[in-house]
Structure 1
């Protein structure tokens, strides 16, 4: 219900509901009056405060005594305490605070609880440990007048909070522009073939060096952590042709690697085989020389005996040689004049010995034959014996035994 609603008398004609202390006297239920003047409201408030902290004097405004002064002091003290407590603030572990005093740089505060005079110092925390990232990309012109789409990612962090905030305007945007400028300068000095294939690492290093030089010259308060060359591709209009060229280059590299692998496999084997043949030749040479020296020494040892008795020595050498020859052959010689008795010949053993001799001399089996002959007594027995003996010597000489 309204404060001065007509008909709301309640015995007081609505006077008790008026917050401004007005009534409707003299109005007789006429129009409602508006709020009182503000000066009157402040006067009443001053009178109430004077009644609490002092005494009234003459009924015209407050007159303050010692109690009024104490009240004002208490209020001022409370305001100071609030101002002091409002000046405490906390800087995070990964942050540093940049303090401006009346708009001028004052100092850098470390992590932890700090205090500042409120309304005098202004503190801006800056994270100096977080790794930030930005990306630069676009169509760029190469040294050989081709167009390539390049994308690069830069990771960095704040090294000097004050320089990062106030030396340059918007350090992050300035770094992005510097990255784009450095990348375009490096791409402009590179060939497209190198950009798309083997020169990516060199481009990344050169871009990082150029970017560091720009940052140092502008004194941005930023340090580069890493630069990643993300992608480089030709325009869509010529992408198929470049894909074919790259595929051909990859095939070339694959064939080269396969040839190198084959070379690495064959060359050691050939080298080892050559060394083995060389060692065998050296061994054969030494063996042949030693055998020759041994034969020479043997002949030199027989020479004095031969000079003393040439016929005896010759016969002895002949007999020794015949013994060696006939001990390894299957031929049987019988002197029919010495005895007429029938001899038992072990043909099975003789045949086995002949087969063994034939297997040992298989390389010369076509030029030599095994003859198992028995010469019987006849009018020409002497001539047959001489013929058989000559044939045996001829066969043995073919086989290198005589």
Structure 2
């Protein structure tokens, strides 16, 4: 039964909370003096001390040396705890010894000597970001709000720690300077529309030059300029300007599309006319050359057989002439009743129109006369040609 339980309270005063009776029986609570004494003896054995008396907290020389040893042990543990450190794969550490650069430590378990040494440990692979937004004056004296984000990382931890007191503050100030310079050299239209990408590139290059001149050990990886906008007080006017610019661009695109459709068509027609003219020229020249060659060959044949050639020329000429006329020439001898067939159906259709000649003797008599005249003319021309030779 617990010492404070209700019931028989006659022996309550003789019990203690440690389960024993006062003055005898079981032992009391743990003896703290005995624990301190054992710890002192252990430290004395470690540091070469001797056992003096039975009181662990006595005022002798042994007690003072034991407390001093405990303090040294605690300080040694704390110093060792601070002196050993671990550098991760993505980190580096710069060690300063007596305020002067000593070394740059890579990943792994390392050891240094505080307070003689001082350690600066940073992540050198993680990309950090800095955002800024402000009103900028453009080249054409307009005010626009330009928000941007700068992404950067530490490229040289030694320069990052030693060369600049507050590298990130220097980065912010350099970013504002670079942004104002580039925005002041750019028109408002370019900042609001298609010029943001080029502007971001210019800001990154100028900002990196600033950081390199300061030797901050910081590398800018990317500068993102978000959609710039005009101040809210004049936003409606700027919206009207943007809509007008879009209408202008649309009209320009339509005009270019029309020009791209008309100009090639006109060029095609011109080229077709040129090709037709060249074809007609070649045709005429070729026909003229052919007629000349035919005439030369005919002349040679005429010198060989004049009579036959004259007769052949006469027949070819008459065929060409009569095939183009609408009259029908009927020849025959007198006293003969020949049945003449005329294609009346074709003549009615208009394909062939014929007018028969009833004067057979006159037609018969006129044909030899025409042939004789042609033959006489050819003989006279031939004779004149020979006399001229």
TM-score, normalising length from structure 1?
A: 0.66
- How far has the Cα of 1:100 moved from its partner? 3.5
1:391-402 pair list within 5 angstroms:
none
- How far has the Cα of 1:222 moved from its partner? 0.4
- How far has the Cα of 1:149 moved from its partner? 0.8
| 2:340 equivalent in structure 1 | 343
| 2:14 equivalent in structure 1 | 10
After superposition, the Cα gap between the structure-2 partners of 1:152 and 1:63, relative to the gap in structure 1 and judged at 3 Å, is closer
- How far has the Cα of 1:223 moved from its partner? 0.8
Give the count of matched residue pairs.
342
- The alignment status of 1:232 with 2:232, answered yes or no, reads no
After superposition, the Cα gap between the structure-2 partners of 1:267 and 1:50, relative to the gap in structure 1 and judged at 3 Å, is closer
1:139 to 108, 111, 135: 135
Cα deviations across residues 182-201 of structure 1 (Å, max 9, x unaligned)?
A: 21222223332333234434
The 2-side partners of 1:334 and 1:308 are apart by 34
- The alignment status of 1:299 with 2:302, answered yes or no, reads no
| 1:24 equivalent in structure 2 | none
| 2:148 equivalent in structure 1 | 152
- The alignment status of 1:192 with 2:159, answered yes or no, reads no
Secondary structure at 2:228 match in 1: strand
1:182-331 pair list within 5 angstroms:
182-303=178-299, 316-326=312-322, 331=327
Contact 1:337 1:377 (8 Å CA) reproduced: no
Cα deviations across residues 181-220 of structure 1 (Å, max 9, x unaligned)?
A: 2212222233323332344344323322321232123222
Q: What is the RMSD of the two structures over their aligned residues, measured on CA atoms?
A: 4.8
The 1-side partners of 2:235 and 2:241 are apart by 10
2:160 to 161, 164, 167: 164
Secondary structure at 2:235 match in 1: helix
After superposition, the Cα gap between the structure-2 partners of 1:145 and 1:48, relative to the gap in structure 1 and judged at 3 Å, is closer
| 2:51 equivalent in structure 1 | 54
Which segment is superposed worse, 305-314 or 208-217?
305-314
TM-score, normalising length from structure 2?
A: 0.68
| 1:373 equivalent in structure 2 | 355
| 1:389 equivalent in structure 2 | none
Unaligned runs of 5+ in 2: 5-10, 45-49, 367-389
Unaligned runs of 5+ in 1: 22-40, 359-369, 387-402
